[in-house]
Amino acid sequence: DVKVTQSSRYLVKRTGEKVFLECVQDMDHENMFWYRQDPGLGLRLIYFSYDVKMKEKGDIPEGYSVSREKKERFSLILESASTNQTSMYLCASSLLQAAGPYEQYFGPGTRLTVT
Amino acid sequence: GENVEQHPSTLSVQEGDSAVIKCTYSDSASNYFPWYKQELGKRPQLIIDIRSNVGEKKDQRIAVTLNKTAKHFSLHITETQPEDSAVYFCAAKRSRRALTFGSGTRLQVQP
């Protein structure tokens, strides 16, 4: 069974702290993604990675960085957390196949509150 | 880049009625259009998808239609049931790897 896990379901951090969100998948997927989910804004792509040590910016990368040192693990880093980064963060993974399937499998999400 | 607009933002129907959610996309090169369902407190899950070489696809009570000329696609749910209540997201595949999602539709099925 497909499995994507995230390190925390709930996280509370202070403004200015460095925050690490971790995602692990056990499906040997090449692609991994980080989204943030806010009411009325849908799922917005922050960064994605298609291979170890490879990354591409999504639509809203400002204030975030990522790390992928191993195929199964993709970390999202908030260098200096701010209150406008309070959100639900979702990780996802998918196969890298030119002809599909393209299904993305999501983790349970981390609800981050920055105070 | 790709832009996906989704309407309506909320939809309330009576059990047994049909529900339709519509999306438009901007990039004519997009070739894959999935729909994800997110139940309250749960992760999004793929429910149906369509590729650009197909105009319609059905899976039991759900169907998706695609109009490439007009750059819009729709999700149709027939004979709605309370368990269909959820947030639905459309998406368009913008590159070899990434999806662009719509803003979501909260569907409520009234028993």
Cα–Cα distance measured from residue B91 to residue B101, given in angstroms and rounded to the nearest whole number: 4
- pLDDT, tens digit, for every residue of A5-49? 999 999 999 999 999 999 999 999 999 999 999 998 999 999 999
| Average confidence (pLDDT) over A108-114 | 97
Structure tokens given for B99 = 């999806």
The reply to whether A41 touches chain B by the CB within 8 Å rule is yes
How much of chain B, in percent, has pLDDT values that exceed 90?
84
Shortest Cα–Cα distance, B64 to chain A (Å): 16
Chain B: residue whose CA lies nearest to A36: B101
Whole-angstrom distance, CA of residue A39 vs CA of residue B106: 10
C-alpha span between B76 and B63 (Å, rounded): 5
- Asked if residues B39 and A107 have their Cβ atoms less than 8 Å apart, the reply is no
State the nearest Cα–Cα gap between A105 and chain B, in angstroms.
7
Residue A48 near residue A31 (C-beta atoms within 8 A): yes
Is B98 in Cβ contact with A43 (below 8 Å)?
no
Asked if the C-beta of A47 comes within 8 angstroms of chain B's C-beta atoms, the answer is no
Distance of CA A93 to the CA centre of its chain: 9
Q: Is A25 on the interface with B (CB under 8 A)?
A: no
Interface test with B, best of A43, A90, A105 (most B CBs within 10 A): A43
- Closest CB from A42, A59, A109 relative to B43: A109
| Partner-chain residue, chosen from A48, A103, A108, that has the shortest CB–CB distance to B98 | A48
Gap between the Cα atoms of A10 and A112, Å rounded: 6
Question: Is the Cα dihedral B35, B10, B2, A63 positive or negative?
Answer: negative
Instruction: Flag whether residue A54 sits within 8 Å of chain B, measured between CB atoms.
Output: no
Cα(A32)–Cα(A58) distance, integer angstroms: 12
| Distance separating alpha carbons of residues B17 and A27, to the nearest angstrom | 38
Q: Give the model's confidence band at B2: pLDDT under 50 very low, under 70 low, under 90 confident, else very high.
A: confident
Report chain B residues whose CB lies below 8 A from the CB of A32: none
Burial of B26 (0-12, 13-18, 19+ CB in 10 A): middle
CB B51 within 8 A of CB B32: yes
pLDDT in tens, A75-103: 999 999 999 999 999 999 998 876 667 89
Residue range B39-85, pLDDT digits in tens:
999 999 999 999 888 899 999 999 999 999 999 999 999 999 999 99
Using the beta-carbon criterion (under 8 Å), do A94 and B97 form an inter-chain contact? yes
The confidence band for B1, taking pLDDT boundaries of 50, 70 and 90, is confident
Contact: A40, B46; criterion CB under 8 Å? no
Write the DSSP string, B58-75. EETTEEEEEETTTTEEEE
Comparing A7-16, B26-35, B94-103, the range with the smallest average pLDDT is B94-103
Q: What is the DSSP letter of A108?
A: -
